[in-house]
Amino acid sequence: MRYLILSDIHSNESALEAVLAQVGRRYDEILCLGDIVGYGPDVNEASDRVRELAPVALVRGNHDKAGSGLTDPTDFNPAARAAAFWTREQLRPDNLEYLRQLPVGPARVGDFQIVHGSVRDEDEYVFHAREARVSLELAEVSLIFFGHTHFQGGFVLRNSGRVEQVRLHWPPGVVSAKLVLATNARYLINPGSIGQPRDGDPRAAFAVYDDGGHTVEYWRVPYDVAVTQERMRKVSLPTPLVERLAAGR
């Protein structure tokens, strides 16, 4: 089975469509790691599209909670908070309800798990090996997909007890990179963010996991950033959020 893994779409319909066009039919099922909304302009479009794609499993993100009013974005920075309140005003009632009922991670799919933040806390950021180790040792499975940081890559716990970062290299023109999963190691894999990458590469990020071939294929897809930025300006979303899309940070 090949799973298309979507994470941190953040109301960026232009980026999501570029991803779907790139991947074509090279997958069997879809997984969504949360943050369908927040930051971006296409609140209902992105929600509608994910509903239509009908992921076989999905978990909620902190922006899905804040945008749908399940939580108050008191711990968000001012720009993110403004976008969360704006998102709440835009959501149609059916999409608001859809976001509110998204499950809390971890969710189990076959022999792996998906989470938004980490295995122990859906809102925890896993940026470093020390945080990754907690999830890798806590999980009941040896493969976990996570989002939230908007950094494509992840971590591997070797048999020796060492935690290593998955490092990806993107020479010009290259759009995909394959990772072969070792059977005697545990993995925490981040497909990257579709709608607001922060790892220095503005291209939309996603991954495809093939459980038969034991591979994770990471992808980076260019999309028309200017179109999303223009839509953001039109509805007066905060300028720093508009600018960071072009920088990928």
Distance (Å, whole) CA 37 – CA 45: 10
Residues 21-40 that bind Zn ion (CB under 5 A): 35
Alpha-carbon distance values, 202 to 120, 198, 229 (Å): 29, 7, 12
Q: How far is the CB of 128 from Zn ion (least distance, A)?
A: 18
Take residue 106 and report the two structure tokens written for it.
């971890």
Which residue stretch of 5-13, 42-50, 90-98, 132-140 sits at the interface with Zn ion (rule: CB under 5 A)? 5-13
Which range in 4-12, 16-24, 121-129, 160-168 contacts Zn ion by CB under 5 A? Answer: 4-12
Minimum CB–partner distance for residue 63 and Zn ion (Å): 6
Tokens of 170: 């993107």
Return the number of the residue (8 or 122) whose C-beta is nearest Zn ion: 8
Looking at the Cβ atoms of 8 and 131, the one nearer to Zn ion is 8
Total of chain residues touching Zn ion, rule CB under 5 A: 2
Q: Does 124 bind Zn ion (CB under 5 A)?
A: no
What amino acid is encoded at 55 in this protein?
P
Number of Cβ within 10 Å of residue 161's Cβ equals 8
Torsion of CA 119, 109, 204, 155, to 10 degrees: 40
The tokens of 102 are what?
């998204």
Residue found by looking up tokens 């295995």 in the block: 119
The residue within the footprint of Zn ion, chosen from 3, 5, 6, 8 (CB under 5 A), is 8
Decide if 249 contacts 36 (C-beta within 8 A). Answer: no
Q: Please, what is the minimum distance in Å from the beta carbon of residue 226 to Zn ion?
A: 22
C-beta of 35 vs 45, nearer to Zn ion? 35
Q: In whole angstroms, how close is the CB of 126 to Zn ion at the nearest point? A: 13
Q: Taking a C-beta distance cutoff of 8 angstroms, is the pair 160, 154 a contact?
A: no
Q: Which stretch binds Zn ion (CB under 5 A): 3-11, 71-79, 82-90, 174-182?
A: 3-11
> Which tokens in the block code for residue 141?
């499975």
- CA dist 8 and 86 (Å) reads 18
Nearer to Zn ion, 60 or 186 (CB): 60
Q: In the block, which residue shows the tokens 């994910």?
A: 50
CB of 47 to Zn ion, least distance (A): 15
Residues that bind Zn ion (CB under 5 A): 8, 35
